[in-house]
Structure 1
Amino acid sequence: MMSFVQPFSVGSSCKALRKGAPRGARPPQQATAAIFSLGKSSEKRTKAKAELLEVISRLSRGASASASDKEEVEQLAQQLERINPTKKVLASPLLSAKWELKYTTSASILGTNKPPFLRPQGPIYQTIDAAELTAKNQETWPFFNQVKAELTPETSSRVAVQFKEFRILGLIPIQAPPSARGKLDTTYLDEDLRISRGDKGNLFVLERAGPVE
């Protein structure tokens, strides 16, 4: 797991104190307590992530989720959001990646208002390039639909999304109207998991699938 603190030795800290540490230096007892606290936070996140991923693994990205399933996922997502290790998401190098959608409450993405044979069957990806402020959503088998968007930062974690181009079957380009827009707030981010919320109230849970392509 990526570390958010500089590594140091408790033993070397004690030695410095004996020689006369600079004013304001943290006593070794406090340093040890800080390390212990970081370890507990990491352990808590690992456990919460495992619980969330275990629950959503049986929900077909959310298409088969009951009301009680959705409530359970919501509670687990909120638990992780409260211990989000990445406070300035848009400034983090972790955000730029190809992400696979593992769960959402969005009926339009899941296609739950369509017959099962018309719903996306293969993986669904979202690629975010924070440096270029672009995003791309990609369905795979059987339809391979895509949509490209431009992003405008609004806060340290939220962007306005302006959809620019749809591609039907991955081939037929259609320019998106100006009204095709929304907002996306990334409320949890670490090296392999991302939780985001849209302006329509939908929840998205994604796992890192690879680098920006």
Structure 2
Amino acid sequence: MASAFFSSPQTTLSNSTIYHSSSRNIHLFTRLSPPQKPTRVPCSLSIAKSPFPAKPNNEIKFSEKWRSRVSFFPSFLKKKGKDRETMKEELLEAISALDRGAEATPDNQERVDQIARELEAVNTIKEPLKSNFLNGKWELIYTTSRSILQSQRPKFLRPNGKIYQAINADTLRAQNMETWPYFNQVTANLVPLSSTKVAVKFDTFKIAGLIPIKAPGRARGELEITYLDEELRISRGDKGNLFILKMVDPSYRVPL
């Protein structure tokens, strides 16, 4: 327990095109003014030439290609990333059958860590040590810390009951609590290192929750709070361990 779980292309009209078109129209007008006999107008002159040159093939292809792409924009714009609540649901589902992490395989651990990092990336509480969301008793629901899980032991010798961690940022105190079957506890002082990280200095262990023992000087670590809201907290320790906790009692106070 001493481990801190803590572009439409533009068509231009050149002068030469306008002149050429006008000459043909004047010629057509003279041939048709007043005839002695019905005059057959050559078919080739009965159709006025368009003053606008035809689009080159590459422009047609570009236009068609552009129109085809436009149809994809609405569906693209409708796509949205996962929101925080969806991520939290995925995280809780991923850890639900892992016995707080004791039964996690390397693939399980990688999956949980991936979702945790997605949540950390959208964390809105930038200074958790100043947030009221931090205060109270949290239940540990997942960790990679073997010293807490005692995963090397047979299952009946592991901590089988709930494990809690309480933090009070105003007094800079923390407490870890095991329940069945050992009921061990440890309290600690917190020393802020940044707006998200604290040094943890354990001061007193309680065996079975009753027998106090002064903690040795080496019983210390660091804890960084990487995600926080009113329900969920993600922390990472100085040994690289991941801790995921849910709030159970925001009114709880750590003993001084």
For these two proteins, the number of residue pairs brought into alignment is: 173
* Match of residue 108, structure 1, among 147, 157, 161: 147
AA at the equivalent of 1:104? T
Residues of 2 paired with 1:194 and 1:207: CA distance?
6
Moved more, 163-172 or 197-206: 163-172
Cα RMSD for the two superposed structures: 1.2
The answer on 1:95 being equivalent to 2:134 is: yes
Q: Deviations over 1:102-143 (max 9, x none)?
A: 000000000112222221011100000100000000000111
Residues of 2 paired with 1:150 and 1:115: CA distance?
33
In structure 2, the residue matched to 1:198 is 237
* Match of residue 172, structure 2, among 124, 133, 142: 133
SS in 1 for 2:180: coil
User: Sequence identity of aligned pairs in percent?
Assistant: 57
Q: TM-score, normalised by structure 2?
A: 0.66
In structure 1, the residue matched to 2:209 is 170
SS in 2 for 1:94: helix
Higher relative contact order structure (alpha carbons within 8 Å, sequence separation ≥ 6): 2
Residues 24-39 of structure 1 mapped to structure 2, 5 A cutoff = none
In structure 2, the residue matched to 1:33 is none
* Match of residue 123, structure 1, among 138, 162, 177: 162
* Match of residue 179, structure 1, among 218, 222, 228: 218
The answer on 1:188 being equivalent to 2:227 is: yes
Q: TM-score, normalised by structure 1?
A: 0.79
The answer on 1:149 being equivalent to 2:174 is: no
Residues of 2 paired with 1:128 and 1:194: CA distance?
12
Where does the alignment leave 5 or more consecutive residues of structure 1 unmatched?
1-39
For the pair shown, the structure with the greater C-alpha radius of gyration is 2
In structure 2, the residue matched to 1:82 is 121
Residues of 1 paired with 2:231 and 2:191: CA distance?
24
In structure 1, the residue matched to 2:200 is 161
